[in-house]
Amino acid sequence: MAPLYRRISYSFGIGLALVAVCLIYIPQWRHFNPGFQQETPAPPYLTPWTVVFVALLSLALAILSAPLTRQRPSLVVVSKVLCALVICCSVVFLLEYATGIRFPDLDIFFLPDSAGRRISLYAARPSPDGAVTSLLFSASLLFYRADLLWRKRLYQILLATAVVLPTIAAVQYLDVLFFARHSFAPPRTGLSPAAVTLYFLLASGMLGLSFGARLQKAAKVDLPRRPLRPV
């Protein structure tokens, strides 16, 4: 049987799977992005910037949980840089929502080429809930370190905080689905069901990273062996 640190972990598989799903979704955004005027309210949908955030965090998760004999410092630096990029972009979007000053150049790549479709200039932006959730997930991975107890506890606290908004959104969707039969009003949440699903999968992979480090540490402990007696 292969050693534990050489096995493909759950976190590594979830990270690669989420990266693949995000890479499939991003090129298709221009074909089914919502067509609505800027002053018209619309229900939450899966924005491409949210998918980019999930892809970068999933790639960082896959790097940290890669089935290597020894974690290379260069790979750790790459994962931290990816998390820092997500933090910087999330802070920019939150400042835009707070001040009302936005940079349209950030969405040019995601907007359709045809000028006939009237959509919001900032339709590719993540919602405030999505930006806050991505910020907390990236901060959690940025502070992750298995050999320091306080860094590991901070990682777990930030991870639990990051799941709060997706959990609230999921409860609201379930309430509308099963209980609000006579009401057709959408739930008041800034996360779409697809975004909630992606965040939950990312959280499960990050939770597996924490448990995987504990199992790997336990596997490296050598058990005392009794001397064999001749028969």
Tens of pLDDT, residue by residue over 128-175, are 999 999 999 999 999 888 777 888 889 999 999 999 999 999 998 888
What does each C-alpha distance from 133 to 44, 98, 144, 167 come to in angstroms?
A: 15, 16, 17, 11
Q: Is residue 190 part of a domain?
A: yes
Q: Is residue 132 part of a domain?
A: yes
Q: In this predicted model, what pLDDT tens digit does every residue of 11-43 receive, in sequence order?
A: 899 999 999 999 999 888 876 655 555 444 466
Q: What is the pLDDT of residue 226?
A: 47
**Residue 26 identity (one-letter amino acid):** I
Q: Is residue 149 part of a domain?
A: yes
Residues 6+ apart with CB under 8 A from 176: 183, 186, 187
What does each C-alpha distance from 58 to 17, 104, 154 come to in angstroms?
A: 8, 26, 19
pLDDT band for 222, please (50, 70, 90 cuts). very low
Q: Is residue 158 part of a domain?
A: yes
pLDDT band for 3, please (50, 70, 90 cuts). very low
Nearest to 54 by CA among 162, 167, 153, 211: 162
Q: Is residue 229 part of a domain?
A: no
Rg (CA), the chain: 21
DSSP state of 180: -
Q: Is residue 175 part of a domain?
A: yes
Name the residue range of residue 197's domain: 4-32+43-112+120-214
**Residue 137 identity (one-letter amino acid):** F
- Is it the case that residue 185 has pLDDT exceeding 60? no
Counting the structural domains of the chain, the total is 1
CA–centroid distance for 107 within its chain: 20
Q: Is residue 88 part of a domain?
A: yes
Q: Is residue 226 part of a domain?
A: no
- The pTM of this model reads 0.81
| The two structure tokens encoding residue 95 | 């400042």
Instruction: Compute the mean pLDDT over every residue in the chain, rounded to the nearest whole number.
Output: 79
